[in-house]
Chain A
Amino acid sequence: MHEGEPSLKEVRNRLLADFPMLREIRRRRPAYVEKLARTVRDCAEYNQRYAMPAALELDRRMEADHDYFAWDLVRAGLSYRFLSLVIPSSVEGMGGLAVLFSLAMEELSSACAGIANIFGAHALGVTPLLVTGSITLWESVLREIAQAEQKGEPVLMAAAVTEPSAGTDVEEPHFLGGARLSMIARKEPGGYVLNGRKCFISNGSVAKYTVVCCATDNDRPLESWTAFLVDRDMQGFSAPRVEEKMGQRACPAAELLFEDCFVPDEYVLAFEGDGMQPGTMLILAASRAPVGAIATGIARSAYEWFLHWAMKPRSGGAPIREQRVQMALADMRTRIQLARWAYLNAAMSFDNSVGKAMRGPAMKSMSLLPDSIRVSGTVKKFFQSSYGRHLASAIIKASTSSEEVTRALADASMAKAVGGDTAMYVSSLALELMGMEAGEERVWVEKCFRDAKLTQIYEGTNQLNRLTLFMADIDNSLKVRFHGNPSARGAVKGAI
């Protein structure tokens, strides 16, 4: 441990103070909480050694040269296994789920949300392979990522959903039917041919594998929405442009172009038509809590820098002596804590529903098989076959009720919107109170302000997240109120 780096005990105590819920969990599952604390400590160490010293310079550099990518910072994260945090242990990953990953995201974002989002967008790419139970791709792609990581070679993933004319529409099943889609996958013998564009794809220009969601029939997008795994070496795939963003610059947002890009059948996740429901819904249930955590990390960073500024002695006295600064700090602290609890609650909601299925006995039994059998041609063929894929998909579905998924998505959407609003509120108020006084703290808070705005936009705008929350809540509460009377439920939903 280097001088000034937090000890495991310090981090554990901080976690237990910030999340009283974990105290209770620790009594029953001490090893689990210890694993969370170790991960957060790793992130804190990474921040001190690599992210903090590089963040501001990297931000400036990428403003001038947005095609640059800090591979050195990704490589520095490999020894902490940041690319394997959510990869199942059966394929040599760290076996974490939403809780572990969210805590890591808050910690990493408290230094630099852009750097954190490189790892966040990577996990977003891994998630579809997990929630669709694509066992053969776990064996090939996820194991490749985990093994390469242990050799010091970064293999990044990304997820591509947004299209130039469809952002909100491709994240909500109610709207997909009316979406103006530009991307299409056409069935050909042995696979699909993809054509069109995706935009604003985090890690899109640097990922080896990208999960791409699109319709196979744009007249029936909801029914034909499908997730494909695209290797960057596939012919017809390119990332022609990287956007110039206001913030979170360390993580490139790219436009992806597909020109007769052939994707073989075995690179289809689950089945044609499974892309939105359950596909995208499960992915968002998994990913929105970590986005809430990224936002919470930004808010925390702004708060900590503001506090540092306020405590600095001045000729007229430190600003912290002013009542307005004290009240603002109390308000910021309150909102950060509420955002924190919201994302942890949502992450737990996911881990206890979909996560439970991925950890269930059937999936776990896979890891008990010896490697020689698991990767053997027969087993591989079985899981590539329609029967095998149905079985894996059925295991996930059978272990999770639709009410649980809906609840997890609602909680995640709530956490995401609360987090984004908190990040904007805290960084904006801090800047207001600091006036025009220059200094290191101001530079960091300005970066937080720029970074924060994106958390209200990506992973569905906060407006869409609120709508998702409402729809999910209504759906579940109507089921309770009108249980056994579907026509009454339909009437109420129709009125909305």
Chain B
Amino acid sequence: MEFTRDLLLDDERRMLLESVSSFRAQVLDEFAREMDERPSSGRVEEVWKQAGPLGITEALLSGDKGGQGMDIYSFCLVLEEVARSSAGLSALLLSHNLALRALDHSGVSDLDGVPLAGEGWAALSFPLKTAEHGYRVDFVPGGSGASLFVFALPGGDDLYRVYPGDGISVEEIIDPLGLRAAKPAALLVGEVGDEMVCGKLGEAGVGQLEAILLLGIGSISLGLARQAYDKAYAYARERYQACDYIINHEQIRLMLSDMLLGIEASGVAVRQAAVGDGSVSPRLSACRAAKVLACGRTVSATTDGVQIHGGYGYMREYGMERLMRDAKYCQSFPRSPQEEMLALLD
């Protein structure tokens, strides 16, 4: 149940969602656990390849360059839907698509060497922080195995396009708590030279990328919360305890209602930010607010989802604990919620 979800679903978006749902059911649900537990097994790459024909790997690339030219609202729906099965894969989709959009919008016409149609991925590296020798990004979804990295320096609007080995070092993050299927890595950028600059994003472009990143993470969180709610609701209807089905216990009903309220509030915030005010790009502050709200409520919803499942929720087999771990990573990526909240006032 979600009251606001269908409001802006036209036929085109419905069809898109149907095809993504079918991809989830036919491919993703079967392999999501393996992608989380053994991200280096090759399954992520295999599933990525199968996602290629759906067009979602090039959703944000404009049509004249071979992409889908998808609007932000639809793209967020895709991320949300994919995240219900694998938040990690959804984060990988986000990172890759933002890298393509950055190249596209900075006037890059040559897409040679850019992985397309499920044949590998590019990774948007954000935010760069000043480190002892150069710059550092703590968490890049898709960083491990990316054939191309795209970033802007702090405070700058030049877009850098860098290949692995090109003065950067990629550190695979071993066994992170969540978003494992995103194959994350930390990126260390040493010397950056002018030859790496491939275009100019402009100040507005940098802000736009950040806004979509925040909105995307908010959407992934929303997908996680919806999945947690659906699983917890179904379990509560089946589980008989304390002389009744637990769905009939007030404690459980209140937990489920709170999950639902969180989904509704986050859904409104995320979708409102995605629609924006009719201009081309969403507003950064609205996306920031939506992201903080959605991620916070999702941590709470997924944790409650595990609690409603009791011991079963804690076991990997039932898939609830993965939602909780992924939600916790969404909350702190790309920055802590406290930093985002402080930035809201800027």
B335 at the interface (CB under 8 A from A): yes
* A residues near B131, Cβ cutoff 8 Å: 315
A428 at the interface (CB under 8 A from B): yes
Cβ contact within 8 Å between B303 and A453: yes
- At the interface, yes or no: A456 with Cβ under 8 Å from chain B? yes
Residue B311 lies at the interface, judged by CB distance under 8 Å to chain A: yes
Given A246-B321, A428-B299, A435-B138, also A461-B307 (CB < 8 A)? yes
Q: A458 vs B311: C-alpha distance in the bound complex, in angstroms?
A: 7
Residues 171 to 230 of chain A near chain B (Cβ within 8 Å): 172, 174-175, 177-178, 180, 199-200
Q: Quick check: which of A13-21, A132-140, A162-170, A372-380 contacts chain B, the rest being far away?
A: A162-170
Give the residues in chain A near B139, CB-CB below 8 Å: 436, 438
B169 within 8 A of A: no
Max chain A C-beta neighbours (<10 A), residue from B310, B313, B315: B310
- The residue of chain A having its C-beta at the shortest distance from the C-beta of B138 within the complex is A436
Q: Nearest chain-A residue to B337 (Cβ)? A: A432
Task: List chain A residues, Cβ under 8 A from B242.
Answer: 168-169, 172, 174-175, 178
For window 299-341 of chain A, which residues contact chain B by CB distance below 8 Å?
315-316, 324
Measured between C-beta atoms, what is the minimum distance from B88 to chain A in Å? 15
Q: Which residues of B contact A167 (CB under 8 A)?
A: 241, 310-311
Q: Are A315 and B132 in contact (CB under 8 A)?
A: yes
**Residues in B whose Cβ lies below 8 Å from that of A432:** 331-332, 336-338
Taking the complex as formed, is B339 at the interface, i.e. its CB lies under 8 A from any CB of chain A?
Answer: yes
Instruction: Check B101 for interface membership: any CB of A closer than 8 A.
Output: no
Counting CB contacts under 8 A, is B316 at the interface? yes
Q: Would A431 and B321 count as touching, CB distance under 8 A?
A: no
A434 to B176, CA, bound (A): 14
A245 interface residue (CB < 8 Å to B): yes
- Complex-state Cα separation, A162 to B171, whole angstroms: 43
CB of B334 closer than 8 Å to a CB of A: yes
Residue of B nearest to A433 (CB): B336
A446 at the interface (CB under 8 A from B): yes
Q: In the complex, A15→B135 CA distance in Å?
A: 45
A231 at the interface (CB under 8 A from B): no
List B contacts of A350 (CB < 8 A): none
B298 to chain A, nearest CB (A): 13
B332 and A434 contacting across the interface, CB-CB below 8 Å: yes
Instruction: Check: A60 CB closer than 8 A to any chain B CB.
Output: yes
Residue-wise, chain B 306-328 has the 8 Å CB interface mask toward A (1 for contact) of 11001101111100010011001
Contacts of A433 in B (CB 8 A): 336, 338
Counting CB contacts under 8 A, is A41 at the interface? no
> At the interface, yes or no: B117 with Cβ under 8 Å from chain A?
no
Known: A167-B311, A463-B251. A434 touches B336 (CB 8 A): yes
Which B residues are in CB contact (< 8 Å) with A169? 241-242
Indicate if the CB atoms of A424 and B335 lie closer than 8 Å: no
Chain A 118-142 per-residue mask, 1 if CB under 8 angstroms from chain B, else 0: 0000000000000000000000000
Check B310–A424 contact: CB distance below 8 A: no
Interface residues of B in 277-317 (CB under 8 A from A): 299, 303, 306-307, 310-311, 313-317
How many B residues are at the interface, by size bracket?
35 or more
| A437 contacts B by Cβ under 8 Å | yes
A243 at interface, CB cutoff 8 A: yes
Q: A274 on the interface (CB 8 Å rule)?
A: no
Judge if B175 is at the interface, Cβ distance under 8 Å: yes
Which residues from A are CB-within-8-Å of B303? 424, 453
B70 beta carbon closer than 8 Å to chain A:
no
CB atoms of A175 and B241 under 8 A apart: yes
A443-474 vs B, CB cutoff 8 Å, 1 = contact: the mask equals 00010011001101110011100000000000
CA distance A253 to B313 in the complex (A): 14
Smallest beta-carbon distance B232→chain A, Å: 13
Instruction: For the complex formed, measure the closest distance between the CB of A380 and the CB atoms of chain B, giving whole angstroms.
Output: 39
Residues of B within 8 A of A168 (CB): 241-242, 310
Which residue from chain A places its CB closest to the CB of B322 in the assembled complex?
A246
B336 and A435 contacting across the interface, CB-CB below 8 Å:
yes
A244 within 8 A of B: yes
Q: Mark B218-260, 1 if CB is under 8 A from A, else 0.
A: 0000000000000000000000111100000001000000000
Residues of A within 8 A of B339 (CB): 435
What is the CA–CA distance of A453 and B310 in the complex, to the nearest angstrom?
A: 10
Contacts of B306 in A (CB 8 A): 453, 457
Contact at A178–B243, with CB atoms within 8 Å?
yes
Distance between A6 CB and nearest chain B CB, rounded to angstroms: 30
B186 interface residue (CB < 8 Å to A): yes
Which of A243, A244, A431, A456 is B328 in contact with, Cβ under 8 Å? A431
Contacts of A177 in B (CB 8 A): 243
Is B310 a contact partner of A245 (Cβ separation < 8 A)?
A: no
Q: Which of A162, A175, A246 makes the CB contact (< 8 A) with B325? A: A246
Q: Which residues of A are in contact with B by a Cβ distance under 8 Å?
A: 60, 63, 162, 165-169, 172, 174-175, 177-178, 180, 199-200, 243-247, 253, 315-316, 324, 424, 428, 431-438, 446, 449-450, 453-454, 456-458, 461-463
Q: Can you list 9 A-B pairs, Cβ within 8 angstroms, ordered by A?
A: A63-B37, A166-B241, A246-B321, A428-B328, A432-B332, A432-B336, A453-B303, A457-B307, A461-B310
What are the nearest 8 A-B pairs in CB distance?
A436-B139, A178-B243, A246-B321, A436-B138, A435-B336, A446-B177, A244-B316, A200-B311
Can you add 7 more A-B contacts, CB < 8 Å, to A174-B242, A175-B243? A246-B316, A428-B328, A431-B331, A432-B337, A438-B186, A450-B177, A453-B324
